[in-house]
Structure 1
Amino acid sequence: MNEMAMGPQPGDRQDDQRIAALLGEMTLGEKIGQLNQLFGQGEHLVDHLRPRLQAGQVGSVINVVDLGQVNEMQRIAVEESRLGIPLLFGRDVIHGFKTVMPIPLGQ
C-alpha cells in the first residue's frame, strides 16, 4: 500500500517564506487580480488579455482549448508581469450541455 503524505512537509518552510515575501511585494491590485478567473475563447484572446496579464490582473483562465494560447498566456504572466506569478488553467464541467447524463456536481 502506498502512503501519501498530507500536511506540511520538509522544505515547505522555504515555500512559506517565499510566499510571504511575494505577498509582501504585491500591491492590493495584484492581490485582487489573483482572484480574477476569466473565461477564454476566440482567435484574439491573447491580444485581448495581454495588458491584464502583464499587470497581474488575472489569476486563472478557464475553457481555453488552444494549447498555443495557453502557452502564450502563461509565458506573458511569468515573463512579462512584475512578479511572474503563473496562471492556473482549468476546464468547466459540461453541465448537460453536451450530454444528457448526470454529472457529479455536488461531490
Structure 2
Amino acid sequence: MSESKHTKGPYLRDGALVYALNEDGTNRFCAYVQVGFVEQPRRGAAVRTTTEEAQATAALFAAAPDLLAALEEAEEGLASSYQVCDYPANGRSQQDRALASVRAALARAKGGDV
C-alpha cells in the first residue's frame, strides 16, 4: 500500500463546510461546498445545487478518509483470498469485478488514472 498524499483525517463537517485540524487544534484546511444559484432564472434553466445536496456532498467528502481506509482493507482482503482459495482471476467472477472496482476507485482517490 503506497503512502497517501492527502490530508489525514478525521475530516469534520458543519453543514456544507468540511475541515481538518492540526494536532494543536488549528485549522489545517477547509472546503466549502457552495450552493449554486441563478440570479435571473431562465425558462427551462437547470436547477443548481440545493442546500440539502451541498450538505450531502460535504458529508461524503468528510467520510473520504474512512472510505479510503475501507477500500484499502477490502483490496487487501480480496487480493489475499486469491492466494488462499487459488481462484482463477479471469475477470468473470463477482470477486474479480469487485476487486477491479476497488482498485479503480483507489487509483482515482489517489490521483491516478482509472
TM-score, normalised by the number of residues in structure 2: 0.27
Q: TM-score, normalization: structure 1?
A: 0.28
Structure number, greater radius of gyration: 2
